[in-house]
Amino acid sequence: MASNLKPLCKFGEKCYRKNPQHLNDFRHPKRKSEEEDEPETKKRQKVQQEGKKKTIDDFFGHTKKQQPTEVNDEEDRAENPSDSGAEDSGEDTGSAGACRGNSEEEKEGEEEEEVEAPDSPADVKENIRAKFLVDMPGDFYQFWDFCKAENPHKPCDALKDLGFQLVGPFDILAGNHKGKTKNQHGKRPNFLLHWRYYYDPPEFQTLIKGDDSSQFHLGYFRDDPSEMPAFVASNSAAVDCIISSKGDNLFAAVNCCLEEQLKSKDTDSSKKAMLKSLAEKLKKFAGEKGHSLDVKSKGMKDRDKHVVCKSFHKAGIVVPVDENEVGYREVPETPADLKKIFKKIADSKSEAERDMNYEPLQELITLIQFANDECDYGEGLELGMDLFCYGGKVFHSTILQLLPLAYMLLNRNEFGKIIEAHLKNRQKSADLSQL
């Protein structure tokens, strides 16, 4: 077929398709090459450099960032997507099928890449930031002090009776990173992936791991990498993508888990006695340090007022929205309809069928381009996050079109680095140590 007789692609210059068959079958007269796209890239970089945008704390009108206390440096198609989420009223049921797409194997990323060694400053707080790109709040270091008092020789095992182990940035406090130039895969440790579970978005930072069967874990959830965490959350990665809040500090979150086990009929009397003792000591220590054990603090309630959408993970997305409501516009599909769209793409049997099923998603991407032009950056963050939570390697390229750009426009570049690293090595495994 002569090129001038080919039908015009309905998306024109907005088309993201890379399928050779599609490019052969349709005309893209205004399609730009990567070299021609360079001015647009520079334009986006200019947006980033034109003054620092307001942080989430500025948006809320108060300063939440706290000074950490001093501390000494001691130093997938494996699952079948369920239709249940697409048949309901649009609310996520919390089932595994509601979040998961088709993954062709357990490890969905590319071959793990060798990364540059991060800096290791002598100051432990700077060391953690260099490796994880975020700062830790005061309760992080105080919780470490509590665990050292419980188990001086191995603080990371202080919560063993509860079935918990301290991981992630706590490994830096324990000195478990020292001398580790190669991880179990023979590569240099990538701390952006250290205990990053399958459904952990960049906003979630794992600190405590639970049982491997459900892949339960606790960590900080923050809306902006430059701010302190909004709350402590939990997720069971082997079950679903849901992120549940457990309080605004680690003491509150662990106390919540202690109470749940004490109330459980599956906990025998001898274990309950140990857990009660641990709970009493934790409450006393938290009280001395001034930490509330409330599961829902005032700060968390204030945050709820600024959540623009729940997203599939239910923890909510917060982006700055000005007095003219510029900053966010909702994705024009219900959660149930989005899951139907994603499922059809994931279940496609051929490239041609996938191209056809991709069209509704392509239309949404085009709308997001318009939204970005009008400074409504939250829409791209929402759709990219929903794709991430649905799961499946088939969506990785689209996620990488949406999330790093959204994070850049929102001045959350650290989150962009994390999502790029994660999608290169996204695993459903429970063994996620990089040491």
- Give the residue numbers annotated as catalytic, written as ranges: 374
> Which of helix, strand or coil describes residue 317?
strand
**C-alpha span between 25 and 5 (Å, rounded):** 10
Q: Are 229 and 222 in contact (CB under 8 A)?
A: yes
**C-alpha span between 166 and 158 (Å, rounded):** 8
* Ordered DSSP codes for 232-247: EEEEETTT-S--EE--
Q: Are 246 and 232 in contact (CB under 8 A)?
A: yes
- Dihedral sign for Cα 226, 230, 234, 238, please: negative
Whole-angstrom CA distances from 222 to 54, 206, 219, 228 are 15, 12, 10, 7
* 299 φ, ψ (degrees, to nearest 5): -60, -35
Query: In this structure, what is the dihedral angle of CA atoms 12, 413, 100, 115, given to the nearest 10 degrees?
Result: 110
Extract long-range pairs of 126-130: CB within 8 Å, 24+ residues apart.
Answer: 127/73, 127/172, 128/169, 128/172
> Which of helix, strand or coil describes residue 231?
strand
State the residue for tokens 């959830």: 221
Question: How buried is 375 (Cβ within 10 angstroms: 0-12 exposed, 13-18 middle, 19+ buried)?
Answer: middle
**C-alpha span between 433 and 427 (Å, rounded):** 12
Nearest CA among 403, 234, 203 for reference residue 307: 203
**C-alpha span between 131 and 189 (Å, rounded):** 10
* Ordered DSSP codes for 377-401: THHHHHHHHHHHHH--GGGHHHHHH
Question: How buried is 58 (Cβ within 10 angstroms: 0-12 exposed, 13-18 middle, 19+ buried)?
Answer: middle
